[in-house]
């Protein structure tokens, strides 16, 4: 057993923006393969997920089960297109596997399955499970004493699930400061605006009331994301929540902030337009990198 | 002569605590339930391996799963309905679907929390836990088997649900190693096969004594493992006796009786009478009075079994 934690990738902000754009393109590739999927939430959280994997998370695609790796859990499992995209971009599996999305028996199901795909840490999909699982992982890694950290991404529509607040209570009680929740605050859920369906505002005060350190950022601004991830790593006896304000379907102009793109059955012309937009973004970022 | 009685919770807690001394991977989760589960001494001796989570059984199931992913073997024990029906989806997804090595123990099971009423009775736990693929369901019949089952449970590399009561119970048979999936013959007989499990097994054995006085030889099979069902043991016995009665502290629908009827329908074609609690909201009262109320005391069981044996076929 390898008892050295893998390294963080620590890529530059420009490169992180490029990684996120490429990941968005992978999301569209899966939608083209499968014909439908949860576009909106994948695009709203992908900057957060890719920044984690390519900057902060200590992980190694060649050793997906390295015992002392940091863990990322996608509590909002329906955003799995983002996680699959980032895992593929990081090299956990061949990019060609993305083309199996939506096909019978694919290792990329509509909600992630850790027994089918390397890099997936929990079988999420039913909402409100990830933070409790993450808390258990954080308690175990803390006892291992090698600085292991756990990051759990939740959707804002998921927050009324009571089990989230069970975990939030226990994490603070046990002073679990190696656990960070990232809330993808895109403001939309399948029925409409989160504010109309079931508001959990005021978010900052709510999490602070549970004893968590709350950081509010623009969840598409890589510099703000990196600053928040850095701040979350402090050992102060308190868990941290990053409240990342985002735009649903970010990067696909016709779909941004529109509830009907929560789950999208693709249309050929619109999918081609989305692909062209993301390709143009990648080209621009590659020019910046060059 | 009366056999000494033991509190199943204390036997369970002491056994797991003793085993944990040489198994550093074992951790204990409590939802304000650890001390009542027999882990008071463990909590004091191993603070770093004892996680008090307060009253939050849904979250606790997820925490158990997460701890298991880091190589721990979590043992999570609380009142049976609060580790089964309450966090059922977490048990299914976080433990079952994620194939995590978590040991969930429901104590005060059946109607053994007799005075506290239907919220605290667990009469559907066999039915719902057996529906989780890969989850082993145990219900040891006496204190010695609880001890042996704890060893087997911790040795087993996968999720387990174990049900124990709280009413003091006697040893029914000599101690022997516990093999998951294997029951044993508690009493030989030739007229009827009585299949029982868990804390009601003593009542079934006492009923067999009463039947013997009436010239009826009941063979009593004790199933310390409810699921997977020990089909071979039941089939071998039932082919000799020609009739089966199931006795369980569980609804007569969905539990051991239903499993044995499935087995008989598929492989035996032998009539099965199901004795347990009716599918309703159980009443409360002193434990032994409650058992008698539902005909699950020795006299009630003996009467039902005799009536079954005297009834014409098809039953």
pLDDT for B149-199, tens place per residue? 999 999 999 999 999 999 999 999 999 999 999 999 999 999 999 999 999
Rounded mean pLDDT of B99-112?
Answer: 98
Task: Decide yes or no: CATH 3.30.460.10 for domain B184-310.
Answer: no
Domain that holds residue A284: 13-289
Question: Looking at the complex, does the CB of residue B82 fall below 8 Å from at least one CB of chain A?
Answer: no
| Contact yes or no for B90 and A134 at CB 8 A | no
Radius of gyration of chain B, Cα coordinates, nearest whole angstrom: 19
| Contact yes or no for A173 and B93 at CB 8 A | no
Q: Say yes or no to pLDDT of B1 above 60.
A: no
Range of lowest pLDDT (A87-91, A207-211, A231-235)? A231-235
**Of residues A114, A162, A163, nearest to B62 (C-beta):** A163
Asked if residue A6 belongs to a domain, the reply is no
| Contact yes or no for A140 and B93 at CB 8 A | no
Chain A contact set for B99 (CB, 8 A): 115
Give the whole-number percent of chain B exceeding pLDDT 90. Answer: 98
Q: What does DSSP say about strands A192-193 and A188-189: parallel, antiparallel, or unpaired?
A: antiparallel
| Contact yes or no for A114 and B48 at CB 8 A | no
Distance CA A53, CA A207 (A): 25
Question: Looking at the complex, does the CB of residue B67 fall below 8 Å from at least one CB of chain A?
Answer: yes
Asked if residue A127 belongs to a domain, the reply is yes
Q: What is the mean pLDDT of chain A?
A: 97
Domain ranges across chain B? 5-170, 184-310
Number of structural domains, chain A?
1
Q: The CATH number of the domain where A126 resides is what?
A: 3.40.50.970
Q: What does DSSP say about strands A179-185 and A240-245: parallel, antiparallel, or unpaired?
A: parallel
Rounded mean pLDDT of A181-186?
Answer: 98
Q: Which of 3.40.50.80, 2.60.40.1260, 3.40.50.970, 3.40.50.1370 would CATH assign to domain B5-170?
A: 3.40.50.970
Burial class, A205, CB count within 10 angstroms (exposed 0-12 / middle 13-18 / buried 19+): exposed
Chain B contact set for A68 (CB, 8 A): none
Asked if residue A7 belongs to a domain, the reply is no
ipTM here:
0.97
pTM for the full predicted model: 0.97
Give the count of Cβ contacts less than 8 A between chain A and B: 100
Nearest Cα neighbor of B296 from B278, B269, B312 is B278
The confidence score (pLDDT) of residue B315 equals 66
Chain A contact set for B65 (CB, 8 A): 122, 132-133, 136
- Chain A residues at the B interface, defined by Cβ less than 8 Å, are 67, 71, 113-115, 121-123, 125-126, 129-141, 143-144, 150, 162-163, 166-167, 169-170, 173-174
The answer to whether the CB of B186 falls within 8 A of the CB of B205 is yes
Is the four-CA dihedral A142, A52, A233, A168 of positive or negative sign? negative
Q: What 3-state class would DSSP assign to A24? A: helix
| pLDDT tens digits, one per residue of A129-170 | 999 999 999 999 999 999 999 999 999 999 999 999 999 999
Q: DSSP letter at B95?
A: I
- B3 pLDDT band, cuts 50/70/90, is confident
Chain B contact set for A129 (CB, 8 A): 62, 90, 93-94
**Of residues A67, A143, A167, nearest to B62 (C-beta):** A167
Question: Looking at the complex, does the CB of residue B48 fall below 8 Å from at least one CB of chain A?
Answer: yes
Write out the two tokens for A116. 């089918």
Q: What 3-state class would DSSP assign to B281? A: coil
Cβ atoms < 10 Å from Cβ of A182: 28
Write out the two tokens for B115. 């005075």
The confidence score (pLDDT) of residue B111 equals 97
The confidence score (pLDDT) of residue A17 equals 98
Nearest Cα neighbor of B143 from B10, B287, B31 is B10
- A1 pLDDT band, cuts 50/70/90, is very low
Chain B contact set for A130 (CB, 8 A): 62
Is the four-CA dihedral B161, B165, B169, B172 of positive or negative sign? negative
| pLDDT tens digits, one per residue of B194-241 | 999 999 999 999 999 999 999 999 999 999 999 999 999 999 999 999
Q: What is the mean pLDDT of chain B?
A: 97
**Of residues B59, B70, B97, nearest to A167 (C-beta):** B59
Question: Looking at the complex, does the CB of residue B90 fall below 8 Å from at least one CB of chain A?
Answer: yes
The confidence score (pLDDT) of residue B149 equals 98
The answer to whether the CB of B187 falls within 8 A of the CB of B104 is no
């Amino acid at each position: 057993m390898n008892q050295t934690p893998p390294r963080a990738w620590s890529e530059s902000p420009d490169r992180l923006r490029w990684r996120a754009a490429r990941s968005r393109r992978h999301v569209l590739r899966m939608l083209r393969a499968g014909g439908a999927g949860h576009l909106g939430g994948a695009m709203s959280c992908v900057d957060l997920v890719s920044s984690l994997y390519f900057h902060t998370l200590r992980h190694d695609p060649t050793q997906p089960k390295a015992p002392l790796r940091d863990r990322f859990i996608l509590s909002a499992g329906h955003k799995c297109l983002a996680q699959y995209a980032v895992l593929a971009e990081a090299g956990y599996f061949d990019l060609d596997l993305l083309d199996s999305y939506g096909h019978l028996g694919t290792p990329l199901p509509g909600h992630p399955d850790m027994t089918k795909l390397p890099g997936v840490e929990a079988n999420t999909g039913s909402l409100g499970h990830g933070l409790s699982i993450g808390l258990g992982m954080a308690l175990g890694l803390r006892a291992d004493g090698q600085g292991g950290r756990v990051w759990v991404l939740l959707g804002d529509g998921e927050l009324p699930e009571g089990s989230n607040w069970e975990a939030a209570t226990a994490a603070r009680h046990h002073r679990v400061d190696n656990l960070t929740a990232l809330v993808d605050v895109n403001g939309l859920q399948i029925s409409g605006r989160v504010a109309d369906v079931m508001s959990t505002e005021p978010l900052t005060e709510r999490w602070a009331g549970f004893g968590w350190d709350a950081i509010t950022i623009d969840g598409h601004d890589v510099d703000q994301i990196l600053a928040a991830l850095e701040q979350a790593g402090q050992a102060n006896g308190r868990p941290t929540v990053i409240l990342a304000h985002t735009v649903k379907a970010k990067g696909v102009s016709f779909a941004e902030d529109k509830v009907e793109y929560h789950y999208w059955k693709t249309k050929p012309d619109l999918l081609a337009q989305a692909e062209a937009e993301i390709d143009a973004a990648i080209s621009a970022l590659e020019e910046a990198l060059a | 002569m009366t056999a000494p009685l033991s509190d199943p919770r204390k036997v369970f807690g002491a056994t797991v605590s003793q085993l944990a001394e040489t198994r550093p991977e074992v951790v204990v989760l409590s939802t304000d339930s650890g001390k009542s589960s027999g882990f008071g001494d463990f909590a004091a001796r191993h603070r770093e391996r004892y996680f008090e989570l307060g009253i939050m059984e849904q979250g606790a199931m997820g925490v158990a799963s997460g701890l298991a992913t880091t190589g721990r073997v979590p043992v999570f024990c609380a009142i049976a309905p609060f580790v089964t029906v309450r966090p059922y989806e977490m048990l299914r997804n976080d433990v079952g679907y994620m194939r995590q090595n978590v040991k969930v123990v429901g104590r005060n099971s059946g109607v053994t929390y007799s005075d506290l009423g239907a919220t605290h009775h667990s009469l559907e736990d066999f039915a719902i836990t057996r529906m989780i693929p890969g989850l082993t369901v145990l219900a040891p019949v006496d204190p010695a088997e609880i001890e042996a089952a704890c060893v087997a449970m911790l040795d087993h590399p996968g999720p387990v649900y174990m049900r124990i009561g709280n009413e003091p119970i006697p040893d029914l048979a000599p101690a022997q190693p516990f093999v998951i999936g294997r029951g044993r013959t508690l009493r030989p007989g030739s007229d009827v096969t009585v299949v029982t499990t868990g804390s009601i097994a003593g009542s079934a054995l006492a009923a067999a004594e009463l039947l013997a006085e009436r010239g009826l030889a009941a063979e009593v099979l004790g199933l310390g493992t409810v699921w997977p069902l020990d089909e071979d043991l039941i089939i071998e016995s039932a082919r000799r006796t020609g009739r089966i009665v199931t006795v369980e502290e569980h609804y007569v629908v969905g539990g051991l009786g239903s499993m044995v009827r499935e087995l008989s329908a598929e492989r035996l074609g032998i009539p099965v009478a199901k004795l347990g609690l009716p599918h309703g909201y159980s009443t409360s009262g002193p434990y032994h009075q409650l058992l008698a109320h539902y005909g699950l005391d020795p006299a009630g069981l003996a009467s039902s079994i005799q009536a079954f044996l005297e009834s014409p076929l098809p039953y």
